[in-house]
Amino acid sequence: MKNDSLRGSRLGANSLETDRGIEYSARKNVEYDCVACQHVTTLTFALDADSPYEWECMSCGSVATLRGATAPLPDPGKAVKEAKSPFDMLLERRSRDELEEILNERLAFLRQRRGAGLEDLAG
DSSP 8-state assignment for residue 18: -
Residue type, 80: V
Domain residues for the domain of 98 are: 86-122
pLDDT band at 20 (very low <50, low <70, confident <90, very high): confident
pLDDT tens sequence across 25-40: 899 999 999 988 999 9
Residue type, 19: D
CATH number of 50's domain: 2.20.28.270
Question: In this structure, is residue 13 part of a structural domain?
Answer: no
Q: For the chain, give the percent of residues with pLDDT over 70.
A: 80
Please determine, for residue 110, whether its predicted confidence score (pLDDT) is greater than 90.
Answer: yes
Enter the pTM of the model: 0.48
| Domain tally, the chain | 2
Kindly report the average pLDDT of the chain as a whole number.
83
Question: In this structure, is residue 98 part of a structural domain?
Answer: yes
Residues 80-106 as b or e (16 or more Cβ within 10 Å = b): eeeeeeeeeeeeeeeeeeeeeeeeeee
Please determine, for residue 89, whether its predicted confidence score (pLDDT) is greater than 60.
Answer: yes
